Chain A
Amino acid sequence: MVENRPILDFLTHAVLIIGIAFIAFPLYLAFVASTHEQTAFTSGVIPVLPGNQLIENYTIMLGTGISTSGAPPLSLMLRNSLIMALSIAFGKIIISILSAYAIVYFRFPFRMAAFWIIFITLMLPVEVRIIPTFKVVADLGMLNSYAGLSIPLIASATATFLFRQFFLTVPEELMEAARVDGAGPLRFFRDILLPLSRTNIAALFVILFIYGWNQYVWPLLITTKVEYYTVVMGIKRMAAVSDAEPQWHLVMAAVVLAALPPVLVVVFMQRLFIKGLTETEK
């Protein structure tokens, strides 16, 4: 690992570059495609160099959308996606940090049973329980609403488990010192535990935001009104048009715009994200 051998340097770089190219090239193609006119695709070959329709295409997508495919303007869908992703991310963090706090710091009957039940739900992602969940949400009258989009996805065994593992590493003496210092359970949570979990919360936020943003099947199922469409499902609608050529230049512009927010979240929270996954401030 520490040896300096040119041939190894070359190999490691080659592997990295090939890896990056695999991931980056499709993104690059999507971006290039979004800067051309529709006619550029009729030949069946996707151009490799950027065109000159960048501003026009993006203005159409953000402003009016592709009315023919029944998709609203992208700005509306981006907003819906944002509301959904943020609600899911914050909801999941709040619920799971509180349940982890209860499980780790309080002694109550069936505490371990509660933990295992939460843990078992790891095996039941949305797709598995989608029909009963739909029934419940429909009966509660939450179809076509932000609540219906986000609440059923909020319960999170993964986040609860991660917070539990983190709380277990916090020295017990810290809690005892706080008790002697006159901090009750809620004050200890707010003054000591929350600030210590800061980096973990940030790391989870990144993961959960992307999870929420990428939801596809659930929004597709419960939204029938255009004003609640999210961007990920919207793209699908744009691409699947009947009796016409898909307007690939516009679809690609939508793809690029849809991919942007998660990237921004990762870029801006990167420092905290890595810290939260690798080190604990103790």
Chain B
Amino acid sequence: MAAIGLSNVSKSYPGGTMAVDGVSLLVADGEFIVLVGPSGCGKSTLLRMVAGLETVTGGEIRIGDRLVNKVEPADRDIAMVFQNYALYPHMSVRQNMAYGLKNRGTDKTEIARRVTEASGILQISEYLDRKPRQLSGGQRQRVAMGRAIVRDPKAFLFDEPLSNLDAKLRVEMRGEIRLLQRRLGTTAIYVTHDQLEAMTLADRLVVLNKGKIEQIGTPIEVYGKPQSVFVASFIGSPAMNLINASVAGNELRLGEMTLPLGERVIPQGPVTLGFRAEDAKPAISGANLRLKAAYVEELGSGKLLHSFVDGQRVVVWLAPDTQAQEIFTFSIDPSKMHFFDHSSGKRLT
């Protein structure tokens, strides 16, 4: 187990494309870090640089106290779980798990002991002599994890390990990965494009966009206080509503509507208002957000009202027993409003 330090890490390709641009991050010993972002944001490249599968073109990567920029993947003492599992198809589960240890010259009885132990933890003891093609997706996933944990590495690196599983299994394996990492206390870096996976797994999550870090924080911090429009729109489902508005005095102008800002002090002029679907409360008196229903989505546990303000989409959560009507009225607690700079997209307060 070890901490992982990235300082100003960059990856540029010949031709000038920057896949990762000056990322600095300190992963504490035993911490579960999730790198999340849309495809092409550089999260996989970053992980692969930590693994040693991509060369580092700038900055430093340290695992423990050791600078590993030029160290071969095998000598970094990390284990990686791949998206398509990358199990060796001609080897049995047992051989798959033992291969890394065998290559390191581990004693045979020690290998057997560790494989037995790891397969016990992952409940794959009965499949040890099967070939990967005889296993289901979930079982393969477990074997891939088994291959990682038998080595007792300093860190686990997960590269979208659940994206090939069906939805139900994904939720199940998500929980297991979390439990396993807690139990072993091994530092883990996990890459995903699924914000829900990121929220549920992470001790801290790192939101990446175009090769740069947008925000680092605990799931609650990132959800509750997004530092930019990008983070606000990426984290949370449904995505945060983002509407162009303007501040005049202590009121917010939103098309033809005005919302009171109460105690909030916001620079005058145009801003981007953000609020979560669940933060707009239905109200009769003091209601100042009037939304004309475009359509309503039924979720079972509630409904989602889709509407448009000045041509911008607004989604608001409704209680399951809400009656259908043409115009809905809401009020938003000013403390639940998020304000972003109109041009840079950065959080204002």
Task: Decide if B104 touches A182 in the complex (CB within 8 Å).
Answer: yes
The one of A173, A180, A196 in contact with B78, judged by C-beta atoms closer than 8 angstroms, is A180
Contact residues in A for B78 (Cβ distance below 8 Å): 180
B218 located at the interface, meaning its Cβ lies under 8 Å from any Cβ of chain A in the complex: no
Interface of chain A, main secondary structure: helix
Query: Who on chain A is nearest to B81 by CB?
Result: A177
Task: Decide if B90 touches A171 in the complex (CB within 8 Å).
Answer: no
Given A179-B73, A180-B51, A180-B79, A173–B103 Cβ distance below 8 Å? no
Q: Which of A166-216 touch B at CB < 8 Å? A: 171, 173-174, 176-183, 187, 191-192, 195-196, 198
Query: Who on chain A is nearest to B132 by CB?
Result: A282
Task: Decide if A174 touches B74 in the complex (CB within 8 Å).
Answer: no
Max chain B C-beta neighbours (<10 A), residue from A174, A177, A198, A282: A177
Query: Who on chain A is nearest to B98 by CB?
Result: A181
Task: Decide if B74 touches A176 in the complex (CB within 8 Å).
Answer: no
A180 to B73, CA, bound (A): 5
Contact residues in B for A171 (Cβ distance below 8 Å): 84, 86
Contact residues in A for B88 (Cβ distance below 8 Å): 174, 177-178, 191-192
B80 located at the interface, meaning its Cβ lies under 8 Å from any Cβ of chain A in the complex: yes
Tally of chain B residues near chain A (CB < 8 A):
24
A68 to B52, CA, bound (A): 72
Query: Who on chain A is nearest to B159 by CB?
Result: A173
Task: Decide if A180 touches B90 in the complex (CB within 8 Å).
Answer: no
Task: Decide if B90 touches A195 in the complex (CB within 8 Å).
Answer: yes
Given A174-B86, A195-B90, A281-B90, A179–B53 Cβ distance below 8 Å? yes
Contacts A173-B83, A281-B90 aside, 14 further interface pairs with beta carbons under 8 A come to A171-B86, A174-B86, A176-B86, A177-B87, A177-B147, A179-B52, A179-B73, A180-B73, A180-B80, A180-B100, A182-B103, A195-B90, A196-B90, A198-B90
For the complex of A and B, the 10 pairs showing the least CB-CB separation, nearest first, are A182-B74, A181-B100, A182-B103, A173-B86, A177-B86, A195-B90, A173-B82, A179-B73, A180-B73, A180-B80
| Interface positions of B (Cβ within 8 A of A) | 51-53, 72-75, 78-80, 82-84, 86-90, 99-100, 103-104, 133, 147
